[in-house]
RNA sequence: GGGCUCGUUGCACAGCCAGGACAGUGCGGACGCUUGCGGAGCGUCAGGUCGAGGGUUCGAAUCCCUUCGGGCCCGCCA
């Protein structure tokens, strides 16, 4: 039994009462009440007012009276509020219920997915540069959505798409082959940083001044399409070196994958030809004989101009590469790939990669009934076209969905700090122009800052322990900042503000966890749970209990809306409840042993619930910090 | 020009999808709290035409329409 189920029970009882009075069904809700209005509340009286021809308050009184026969289990009384609300007050048994529920190893687990297979694709950074702060938002959102889906019984596979044959890769290959850049980075600089900060930026810069140099670009791009060309082989070596460094950053962030998909292989697999035939047969594409798209194959995009899929010279466009990939993810076309081990990840799981070379490994399956692709909102237009096309190939509702989020921009101060001019309050990042903040650098400066803070407070801890704490808090801080607001809000990243560790930040959450840990450590004995918990009676205690009980309601909401923010809000509200309790209710300093024990149990339940919730966000919980 | 999206206190946000009881939180500002389990904390105060106008409703920050302002996207580039 959980709070969520009590709400469901109240709802069904009220439905019975409504039916007995002969009222039509209305869509009322039963929810947790605001402080001061009991424990649960229902708006049914407002909705019945019209058809009953009575005031909401009068109806609430009738329902409250009728509800009396259902009281007893967890509810002590119900009353009509003069506003019209129907309010419920729980009895002391609720304390016991919440504490016992939170001890269950499956606390928070809800079977929404029924083992449905879901593919989540995220990260997908061009392998020509290091991850910047904007990419971090993508992989953190993707990773947390995966965690939420797993917690709600979905069978999730995680893909990272490697666009190893696009223009951006061609640019660094031009730099290496024709721009005089050494393959070995200076001063042992991380290879992805070197490619992005030096080779890419300076090569694209040179295009502007040297038109002839710019011609190499298309020569290289063409060569990349032929897997046997020397340039393609060279590019393969370079992009894999970059990818390996990028993955180190992802892993550092606690993000892992099941399979890497290489765009070059999708091209070589000829999947496009197959899907193109399907599209032609189904008349989803049209060959233009006149107009501005003469001799092109186009697709209709509702309310917008037609999109070219195949150019008049017969070469497929960018969007045409995404269509077979989307179809492959949903298992609409036969899988042309074999799979080989890329490496074992730091969390112990195997990372696979696609290959076109036949091997004897077991045939793996990385397609699913449902596909979620995490890409920023600038791609919405193209993703809509793909979604509508895929829906015609696989009509199940929401089989393919684009999880969109707003991009991360840089504050004016930050842009100036990295040596660029700026007009206005913020600027879009640009890899080409060198306007970005690398994720590794942010993590590093956060770690330094946190290491010092932790050292001040924990003079007894060794440096490597402090380093571990610094890493946990730094990664958590970055993750939390990336998801605590809604996906459709732009995040303006500011170097200075990003180092803040006070207020609504991850360290506030982790700090409250550390506080709880210390109390349990100092208690000297384990909390005993064979209790009724009727002594937990202050508002601080009952509020904290109610927050704990909201965990599965929160997960339900987060899963249904694919919303990491919902979990972040829950963690914050939970920590606020605890910190308020902590300041006002002494746990250990009490002569009554049973009060001490019951409060210790409460602290224990808070700690384990926060740990589970933070785990959904991929945030670690150090005992000391 | 067309499409999408955001607009809530000095700043950053929650609440909006599933309309209701005093519109919450953080930062910043003013002030207070440690011979108490860690002050990365707790508490008090100041600060709001929920962009504007209309509509639906007994009731709108929330739903609908119009409008203004910011952002993004609209290539036979990727």
Strand B contacts in A 414-473 (CB under 7 A): 424, 428, 450, 453-454, 457-458, 469, 473
Residue with nearest Cα to nucleotide B2 C1': A304
Residues of chain A with CATH 3.40.50.620: 117-269+317-414
**May I ask the CATH class of domain A117-269+317-414?**
alpha beta
**SS3 of residue A575 by DSSP:** helix
CA of A276 to C1' of B45 (A): 68
pLDDT of residue A49: 87
Strand B bases near protein CB (under 7 Å) are 2-6, 12-15, 17-18, 20-22, 25-28, 36-43, 58-59, 71-78
Q: Is the CB of A529 under 7 A from strand B?
A: no
pLDDT of residue A73: 83
Q: What is the DSSP letter of A70?
A: G
Q: Which nucleotide is nearest to A29 (CA to C1')?
A: B18
- Mean pLDDT, consecutive 10-residue segments, chain A of 625 residues? 85 92 88 86 91 88 94 90 92 92 95 97 97 98 98 98 94 95 94 97 91 89 90 96 98 98 93 94 92 92 86 90 95 95 98 95 93 96 94 92 96 94 90 96 97 95 97 98 97 96 97 97 94 93 95 95 97 98 95 95 98 98 97
Decide if A498 contacts A442 (C-beta within 8 A): yes
Half-sphere CA count of A560, side-chain side, radius 13 A = 8
- Name the phi and psi angles at A104, rounded to 5: -60, 135
**SS3 of residue A179 by DSSP:** coil
Closest by Cα among A359, A279, A343 to A316? A279
Domain A3-91 falls in which CATH fold? Gyrase A; domain 2 (3.30.1360)
Cα–Cα dist A172/A167, whole Å:
9
Residues of chain A with CATH 3.30.1360.70: 3-91
- Name the phi and psi angles at A303, rounded to 5: 75, 0
Cα–Cα dist A195/A418, whole Å:
18
The token duo for A257 is 């994958």
pLDDT of residue A362: 85
Residues of chain A with CATH 1.10.730.10: 438-625
pLDDT of residue A82: 87
Q: Which nucleotide is nearest to A311 (CA to C1')?
A: B76
Q: What is the DSSP letter of A26?
A: -
Cα–Cα dist A132/A250, whole Å:
11
Task: Using alpha carbons, list the distances in angstroms from residue A60 to A10, A22, A89, A205, A211.
Answer: 14, 16, 15, 71, 78
Half-sphere CA count of A208, side-chain side, radius 13 A = 6
Closest by Cα among A24, A38, A29 to A4? A29
Q: What is the DSSP letter of A50?
A: H
CA of A580 to C1' of B44 (A): 15
Rounded-to-5 percentages of helix, strand, coil across chain A: 50, 15, 35
**May I ask the CATH class of domain A438-625?**
mainly alpha
pLDDT of residue A209: 87
Task: Using alpha carbons, list the distances in angstroms from residue A500 to A143, A446, A453.
Answer: 24, 9, 12
CA of A103 to C1' of B40 (A): 28
Q: Is the CB of A486 under 7 A from strand B?
A: yes
- Name the phi and psi angles at A314, rounded to 5: 90, 0
Residue with nearest Cα to nucleotide B71 C1': A490
> In which residue are the tokens 């696609």 written?
A354
pLDDT of residue A264: 93
Strand B contacts in A 35-64 (CB under 7 A): 35-37, 41, 43, 46-47, 49-50, 56
- Name the phi and psi angles at A427, rounded to 5: -140, 145
């Amino acid at each position: 039994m959980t709070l969520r189920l009590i709400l469901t029970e109240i709802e069904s009882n009220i439905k019975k009462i409504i039916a007995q009075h002969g009222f039509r069904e209305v869509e009322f809700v039963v929810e947790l009440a605001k402080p001061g209005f009991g424990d649960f509340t229902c708006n049914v009286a407002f909705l019945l007012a019209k058809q009953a021809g009575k005031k909401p308050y009068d109806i609430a009184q009738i329902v409250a009276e009728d509800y009396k026969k259902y009281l007893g289990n967890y509810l002590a009384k119900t009353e009509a509020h003069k506003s019209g609300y129907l309010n419920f007050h729980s009895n002391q048994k609720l304390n016991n219920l919440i504490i016992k529920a939170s001890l269950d190893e499956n606390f928070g687990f809800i079977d929404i997915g029924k083992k449905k297979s879901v593919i989540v694709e995220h990260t997908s950074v061009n392998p020509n540069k290091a991850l910047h702060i904007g990419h971090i938002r993508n992989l953190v959102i993707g990773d947390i959505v995966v965690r939420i889906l797993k917690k709600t019984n979905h069978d999730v596979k995680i893909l990272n798409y490697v666009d190893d044959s696009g223009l951006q890769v061609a640019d660094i290959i031009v730099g290496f082959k024709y721009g005089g850049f050494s393959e070995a980075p200076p001063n042992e600089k991380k290879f992805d940083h070197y490619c992005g900060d030096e080779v890419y930026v300076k090569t694209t810069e040179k295009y502007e001044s040297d038109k002839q140099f710019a011609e190499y670009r298309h020569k290289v791009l063409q060569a990349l399409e032929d897997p046997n060309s020397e340039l393609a082989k060279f590019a393969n070596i370079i992009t894999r070196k970059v990818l390996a460094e990028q993955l180190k950053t992802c892993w550092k962030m606690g993000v892992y994958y099941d399979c890497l998909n290489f765009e070059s292989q999708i091209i070589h697999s000829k999947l496009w030809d197959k899907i193109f035939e399907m599209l032609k047969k189904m008349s989803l594409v049209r060959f233009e004989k006149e107009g501005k798209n003469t001799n092109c194959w186009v697709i209709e995009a509702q309310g917008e101009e037609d999109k070219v899929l195949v150019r008049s010279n017969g070469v497929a466009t960018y969007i045409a590469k995404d269509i077979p990939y989307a179809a492959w993810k949903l298992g609409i076309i036969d899988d042309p790939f074999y799979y080989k081990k890329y490496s074992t990840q730091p969390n112990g799981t195997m990372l696979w990669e696609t290959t076109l070379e036949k091997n004897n490994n077991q045939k793996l399956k990385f397609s699913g009934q449902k596909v979620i692709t995490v890409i920023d909102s600038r791609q919405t237009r193209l993703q809509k076209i793909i979604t509508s096309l895929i829906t015609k190939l696989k009509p199940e509702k929401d089989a393919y969905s684009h999880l969109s989020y707003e991009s991360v921009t840089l504050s004016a101060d930050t842009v100036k700090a990295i040596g660029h001019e700026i007009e206005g309050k913020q600027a879009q990042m640009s890899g080409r122009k060198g306007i970005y903040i690398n994720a590794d650098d942010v993590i590093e400066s956060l770690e330094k800052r946190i290491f010092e803070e932790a050292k001040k407070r924990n003079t007894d801890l060794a440096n490597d322990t402090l380093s571990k704490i610094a890493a946990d808090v730094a990664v958590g801080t970055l993750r939390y900042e990336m998801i605590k607001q809604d996906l459709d809000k732009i995040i303006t990243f500011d170097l200075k503000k990003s180092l803040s560790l006070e207020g609504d930040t991850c360290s506030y959450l982790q700090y409250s966890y550390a506080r709880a840990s210390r109390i349990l450590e100092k208690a000297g004995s384990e909390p005993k749970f064979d209790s009724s918990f009727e002594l937990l009676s202050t508002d601080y205690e009952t509020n904290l209990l109610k927050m704990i009980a909201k965990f599965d309601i929160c997960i339900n909401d987060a899963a249904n809306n694919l919303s990491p923010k919902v979990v972040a809000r829950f963690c914050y509200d939970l920590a606020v409840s605890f910190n308020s309790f902590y300041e006002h209710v002494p746990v250990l300093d009490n002569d009554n042993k049973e009060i001490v024990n019951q409060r210790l149990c409460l602290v224990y339940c808070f700690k384990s619930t926060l740990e589970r919730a933070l785990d959904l966000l991929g945030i670690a919980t150090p005992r000391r910090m």
